[in-house]
Chain A
């Protein structure tokens, strides 16, 4: 069997990105919760709030290390596995990544050491400032990464340059203020806040169930409940869909999430449940809520939402137009001064990427037949059934979080922890759900982007490096083993420290147990 480096690179990138995103949302949310707790400490001067900051900070540090470690993988992989992507769009895509380093990651990482080790070296206000700067840095970091990601979904402010065979920036402000990126930022950081809040809520509920650390757990739960309620409302209300009508393929993503084969007249209804049948292009047993989709997607009641079949027809037109651009480009490469070819390219350049879709099954797109063009247009349909379900489960979880945090808020406000022990148990078992929702959300956003690496511009199929399938398989297996070991170790430490609780985890021991240790192992050097 031929190993496909593109497919393997996709699996590798997908797995390592989803793995990285096990740690990111907790960093985003917990950093703010730490800052809130420490602010209360500085304002009230009560030591318990400092201990809360320190204990949750300890768990934060374990998670932060994994987030930093796995984040480097993402940056490396654009070069190692997606070299043509890096070449083709580095002029635009590299900019937010570089700014992220300079503006956000430096801030976050330089101060995190002082946050963890600097308690005795700083005044209260200085330390509080440092904690806020860490929270600010990690959130700014998310902003720039999502500007980069938003550009992959909605590539604005750039144009193809035939001299350099790549996309180049024409308007950097359009890239930065990309509406898709802004929507993604708000939605993603809110999801992170929900994750942080759930983490604190669940572990606090665990202590309350065991009747341990009561004053500590009650206060932590109160912070988690209020921060979590605000965040859960924000993550649902400020969903990601607001950007979905900006471009053709975002419309395709939306239609696929809805398994909506035919264009719906305004106001479109929302399919609450159904069984998409991709072969027949129907959705069986559909339960629909009138008006809902029109409201979600267009924020209006008078705009229609396009269906998959109509979007495929439009894609066919774009492939044809793209072929004119492609022909122009080929001529231009042999004869730089051919003005007809230059005009052909210029007039059709926004569709050039659609001609590149043909490369998935044709070496020379210019030989494309009617059937080939039809086939290329069909490729623009992302995996409908998967998107339909991932999106629905994510949204369902979002509403569940609102209810959960609202009730937590009520329980915390009335202090009826003993009466609602069933709720504490529910809160404990709900711990993994924000991670599930976040991963499903990423699948919806990025799986829905397929077949494009850069929407409408660069098909995923040709974005990969010219490395062999065997090489990528070897690195993929390496990642799976290495990451699995790290996941086990990380989970082990997290559970251990969470179970230990604040009293033991923060003990200021001076008995130096390592004396015995070093005496027992005088020759452990590497």
Chain B
């Protein structure tokens, strides 16, 4: 098989999905734990148990997001430009939250004054809650369509404000994403803690898994029967130049379900989403902590893949000028850049996975009350 432009575009669609799933699985539990901090940890010691469960790893995990951002810049520059400028205030909101996180983790333990710590607890909660919600809202808006169009110089013009992003379907997706990451975060916390914190995390896990199944189901029916999906009406040249104005796009209800009929194997994605959530409930009940975490990770994979496969080949459809919609056939970088990026990723991603595994192995074991009490100055 030769790596022609079409194949490279497909590879990069899959790699972007993999990087986003990597982010949601690896950093998702950090976000989820920060977002459930008020629920699972009430005293300072309990908070420190929860925070230290991710203390040494959140920083490396966050690089999944940064790399996904950099990779979309390199592989899908049109999507990068359209999504970041179109979601201007939403992106800046996420940014503020992501800035609060490192400083929250690092500054909180430096002073023992209760007001100081309570302030950073709030900051940490915001740093987990806001991105968990906003990333889902953003995905929801992709399915609804985003109000942008291209001039013939390929300059993006955007016709909507921040509050336009808060439409009902997108908010539903935001809640789905929040439930998903709360569940996933709880699974990690159960694995890494004991005592009261673990018991509370078990409860959060059960409720969020149930909520996730319900929200995912509602979202699925809504996308199938309530949303006008998009489909390409003209002939597509999968190896053509990346110019989004070269095609014609129509909108019709049910278009987001077409892929599941045409390629039945894609149904595996929503099935994994459900299966992961249900198994998480079962394993949580039987106290199989490792398996619970694997199950929530599978749910995360299945749910993100469901969104991606429903949209395929669209990435960022336009509601006001459907022909301006970005698809994987007309929003990528050049063939040369995709090839370079493929080689780089093939070399470095396994290396990253290798040393990440080593670091987690070195850090295995539970964060206990005794540990945080003995390390008041060295741990967070």
Contacts and interface: CB of A to CB of B under 8 A. Distances in A.
Interface of A: 61-62, 64-66, 68-73, 75-76, 78-81, 83-84, 86-87, 90-95, 97-103, 105-107, 109-114, 116-119, 121-122, 161, 163-166, 168-170, 172, 333, 465-467, 471, 475, 478, 482, 486, 489-490, 493, 496-497, 505-515, 517-518, 520-526
A525 B345 CA distance: 42
Interface in B326-348: 333-334, 336-337, 340-341, 344-345, 348
A90 B341 CA distance: 13
B363 A65 contact: no
Given A91-B334, A93-B73, A111-B359, 5 more contacts: A75-B69, A117-B363, A118-B56, A170-B336, A496-B110
Contacts of B352: 102, 106-107, 110
The residue among B38, B41, B63, B75 with the most chain A CB atoms within 10 A of its own CB is B63
B82 interface: yes
A100 B70 contact: yes
B56 A517 contact: no
Interface string B34-62: 00011001111100100000011111101
A482 to B, nearest CB: 6
A512 B373 contact: yes
B88 A80 contact: yes
Contacts of B336: 168-170, 172
B112 A514 contact: yes
A113 B55 contact: yes
B81 interface: yes
B137 to A, nearest CB: 16
A79 B81 contact: yes
| Residue picked from B42, B78, B99, B349, most chain A C-beta under 10 Å | B99
B192 to A, nearest CB: 13
Contacts of B67: 98, 101-102, 105-106
A32 to B, nearest CB: 19
A522 B43 contact: yes
A79 B114 contact: no
Contacts of A471: 88-89
Given A65-B105, A482-B96, A514-B376, A467 B85 contact: yes
A79 B59 contact: no
Which secondary structure dominates chain A's binding surface?
Answer: helix
29 contacts: A62-B106, A66-B102, A69-B103, A72-B95, A79-B81, A80-B84, A84-B155, A90-B74, A90-B78, A91-B77, A94-B80, A95-B341, A98-B341, A98-B344, A101-B69, A102-B345, A107-B352, A109-B62, A110-B352, A114-B362, A164-B154, A169-B337, A466-B85, A475-B92, A489-B107, A518-B44, A521-B118, A525-B37, A526-B122
- Considering residues A161, A165, A172, A506, which has the most beta carbons from chain B within 10 angstroms of its beta carbon? A165
Contacts of A80: 84-85, 88, 91-92
B73 A79 contact: yes
B98 A517 contact: no
DSSP class of B's interface residues: helix, strand, loop or mixed? helix
B266 interface: no
Nearest to B77: A90
Contacts of A170: 336
Nearest to A514: B44
Q: Which of A70, A98, A509, A521 has the most CB of B within 10 A?
A: A98
A94 B373 CA distance: 45
A91 to B, nearest CB: 4
A506 B55 contact: no
Contact of B84 (A79, A111, A524): A79
Contact of A75 (B66, B110, B363): B66
A81 B158 CA distance: 13
Nearest to A77: B84
A466 B156 contact: yes
A482 B103 CA distance: 12
B153 interface: yes
Contact of B333 (A61, A91, A109): A91
